[in-house]
Copies of this chain bind each other. A is one copy, B any other.
Amino acid sequence: MSAEPSSLPTPTTPTTPSSSAPRYGVWLIGARGSVATTAVAGCAAVAAGLHPPAGMVTETPDFAASGLPPLASLVFGGHDTLDCPLPKRAEHLAEGGVLPHGLPAAVHAELVAADREIRPGGPTPGGTDTGPARTDDDWIDVFAADIRDFTDRHQLAGTVVVNVASTEPVPADGALPPSSLYAAAALRAGCGYVNFTPSTGLHHPALAGLAASAGVPYAGRDGKTGQTLLRSVLGPMFQQRALAVRAWSGTNLLGGGDGAALADPAAAAAKNAGKERVLADTLGAAPEGEVHIDDVPAMGDWKTAWDHIAFDGFLGSRMILQTIWQGCDSALAAPLVLDLARLLLRAGQQGVTGPLGELGFYFKDPVGDGPASLGEQYTELKRFAARLRDDAADSGARR
Contact present for A100 and B315 (CB under 8 Å): yes
A319 partner residues in chain B, CB cutoff 8 A: 1, 325-328, 331-332
A45 partner residues in chain B, CB cutoff 8 A: 315
Interface centre among A5, A7, A103, A241 (most CB of B within 10 A): A241
A343 partner residues in chain B, CB cutoff 8 A: none
A247 partner residues in chain B, CB cutoff 8 A: 253, 296-299
Minimal beta-carbon separation of A3 from chain B (angstroms) = 5
Residue A130 lies at the interface, judged by CB distance under 8 Å to chain B: no
A314 partner residues in chain B, CB cutoff 8 A: 38, 42, 51, 54-56, 331-332, 334-335
| Distance, CA A5 to CA B334, complexed state (A) | 21
Contact present for B294 and A290 (CB under 8 Å): yes
Count residues on chain A whose CB falls below 8 Å from chain B CBs.
88
Interface contacts beyond A247-B296, A375-B376: sample of 11 additional A-B pairs, CB < 8 Å, sorted by A: A42-B315, A52-B244, A100-B316, A230-B237, A233-B233, A240-B361, A240-B374, A240-B375, A288-B296, A319-B327, A319-B328
Seen from chain A, the residues whose Cβ lies within 8 Å of a Cβ on chain B are 1-7, 38, 41-42, 45, 51-57, 59-60, 94-101, 103, 229-230, 233-234, 236-237, 240-244, 246-247, 249, 251, 253, 287-290, 292, 294, 296-300, 302, 304, 306, 308, 310, 312-328, 331-332, 334-335, 361, 373-376, 378
